[in-house]
Structures are given as C-alpha cells and as structure tokens.
Amino acid sequence: MKTVSFTVPPSYGGASLKGFLRSWAGCSARLLTAAKRIEGGLLCNGKPATARTVLKSGDCVSFSIAPSPCAVEPQAIPLSVVFEDESLLVVEKPSAMPVYPCPGHDRGSLANAVLGHLLARGEALEFHPVYRLDRDTTGLVVLGKNSFAASCLAGRVGKEYIALCSGYLSGEGMEKGCIGLLPGHSIQRCVRPDGQRAVTRWKSLRAAPDMSLLSFRLETGRTHQIRVHMAACGHPLLGDDLYGGPCGRIDRQALHCASVHFLHPVKKDVLFFRSPLPEDMARILQSG
C-alpha cells in the first residue's frame, strides 16, 4: 500500500478533507472512494479521518492508494532515466521500442524495461505511462509510479516534439484537419471531415530546399497526429513510410519528444526536462 501526504496551505483552512483532496491535491473521485474503504486510508495528523473532517492550515493529510500491479514481465533492459522520485519516473524511450508489449513484440517494450528497473530497486511493479509514443518515436516519456500520480498528470503534461519533414517550411503555422481512420485500415489515419478534432501548431527551426526541422506543440492528442497532419499538407516526416515520407536517409519516422513540463502531483513544483536530438536525426542535420 502506498501513501501520499500533503500539508494543508492557509487557503484551505476550514475546508473539508474531501474538498481539499479533490481540489488542491487533485485526487480523483474514484481514488478517494477507494481510500475510504481502506482501514486507515484517510488520516489527518496521523489519526483516522473521514471525508467530512474539517482541516486547519498546517495539518498533514494522508490517503492510501491501493496497488495496481502490472502483469507485464520485468526485463533487465537498459533504461535511460532522466528523473525519478517516489511518485514519478521520466525516461528516454529509444526507437524500435513500443510502450507496451504487442503482437510480434511481446518482449523488449518500455513496460518490460520499467518493471525490470523497479524490480531491481525493490519497488512495486506498477506501470502508468501518462501518454504514449509510437514505437519508432524517440524521446521523453513521463510515468507515474502509482495511479494517483498518473491520473493527476493525465492531459496536463506540456510537450514539444521535434521532427524532420520533407520540403521547405519557414515561419510557423497551424494544421487543424480532423483525424480518423483511413477507410479499410485499422492503424493508418487520415484527415477526414467526420474525424476527431485535431490541432497541431508548428514552428520552423531550420529550413532547406528538401528538408525542414520543425518544432510542434499539440492542442489535442490524436493517434499519429503530427504524422497525419504533415502528410496531409504535403510535408511528410522523413522516414515515415506509413504516410509517404522519403526513407532514404533514416529508417524510422524522424520524430522526437524533445521536452516536457508539468506540475509535480505531490510537491506541486514545476518540472521541466529537455532531451537532445537522437543520433540519427542529428546526423541528418549535420550532413545538410
């Protein structure tokens, strides 16, 4: 059983424990209900409390989180850890590594590697990625070490992606075509009027006649969003054979999650992490 603790700030003096946990702490209704069912699951200054307990500034409030172990097999796979504490893990995902095991790739996933890392540290075997990257997309992945941390960060991690796109693009722009499945396909997406809303903002960092380095910030999180939008506007990512990108210079889509920023779910301080371009993308830039 894991326990998360907070100190009540002056602005929440007089609030109920439930109000404080749901609002300031960001605890979901589901997790709060689960904590109430655990003996000693809600504490105030180390003593049993209820959802109606009235708090004072400076009180120490704690709630318990039921474990949710992951059934994926732990593997001793090298893992590039950028940040780690009792609540979070930020790692660098390489290319050719899916986030979860999948058909034809039942081992060697990020889940296998993270669970192997936690097993070696004697920690609970939980795997809660806040978002996913495609198998061949590289870069930063934020994971919660428990369901509370992951639920607090869901939809609240700001990300910058960097990609190499075909053709010349300068300045900045926005793509907002709705995205849905390509008719007759179960994986490939396309821009279609009856798809889900999708907004991609891009900025050119470097442009050449045959290739541009772009920075992306997403307002939505659709599957393959950057890849689909750039293919639709005539500038598919280098190496992206699924969406018509030229494949002579790199053997994967040239897409990298380069930075993330978010509010720590427990400490409430802002964290920012940046990842350098992977070697294959940097080599293309250096060669011009």
Predicted pLDDT of residue 159:
98
Half-sphere exposure of 44 (CA within 13 A, CB side): 19
CATH no., domain 2-65: 3.10.290.10
Q: Is 59 a catalytic residue?
A: no
Which entry of 134, 136, 240, 280 is annotated as an active-site residue? Answer: 134
Q: Cβ-count burial of 199 within 10 angstroms (0-12 exposed, 13-18 middle, 19+ buried)?
A: middle
Predicted pLDDT of residue 148:
95
Predicted pLDDT of residue 106:
81
The tokens of 236 are what?
């598919």
Strand partners, 7: 60
Predicted pLDDT of residue 103:
80
Contact 32, 147 (CB under 8 A): no
Of 220, 245, 225, 249, nearest in space to 235 by CA: 245
Give yes or no on whether 68-156 and 159-256 have one common fold. Answer: yes
Residue spans per domain, the chain: 2-65, 68-156, 159-256
CATH no., domain 159-256: 3.30.2350.10
Residue type, 232: A
CATH no., domain 68-156: 3.30.2350.10
d(CA 6, CA 152): 14
pLDDT digits (tens, 9 = 90+) for 143-191: 999 999 999 999 999 999 999 999 999 999 999 999 999 999 999 999 9
Give me the residues of the chain with pLDDT under 50, please: none
Residue spans of beta strands (DSSP E) within the chain: 2-7, 42-44, 47-48, 60-65, 80-84, 88-93, 128-129, 138-144, 158-166, 172-175, 179-181, 189-191, 200-208, 211-218, 255-263, 270-274
The tokens of 15 are what?
């609030």
Sign of CA dihedral 176, 181, 183, 188: positive
